[in-house]
Structure 1
Amino acid sequence: IDIEKTVDWDCMPAAVAALSRGGYRGERVQADAADIIKAARHLARHYEKADKPIPDTLGALI
């Protein structure tokens, strides 16, 4: 399986928002700061591999 082909780009903005302070629809991922940063880096790698610009929200976290 090519993991990059399984990324659901329609859901990525919600995943990114969930890591932000404001959260997605007001709900932030419940994790410690280190895990949130780790998740942000993981999502950023998907953007990089797809040659897509990294959202500002992720940039602020990483």
Structure 2
Amino acid sequence: MSRYYFDLLDGDALAIDDEGLELSDTRRVQAEAAKSLADMARDAAEATLSDSIIKWLSRCATRTDL
């Protein structure tokens, strides 16, 4: 098996994968990359939603005409 590294570039920030994963073939590499991307997209959506809800609640709490 070969060891594959999945570095992440987010804007100007680079996160280096120092450990990597041992995978048997490129099909498994593609599957791992797809799973990681799906997880990152879910995490980003949840973070954005949470931030939006917090900002909305904050605005509601400070309005005097509610």
Q: Same fold (TM over 0.5)?
A: no
TM-score band, normalised by the shorter chain? 0.3 to 0.5
**Could you say which structure has the larger radius of gyration?**
2
- Tell me the TM-score normalised to structure 1 length: 0.37
More strand by share: 2
Q: TM-score, normalised by structure 2?
A: 0.35
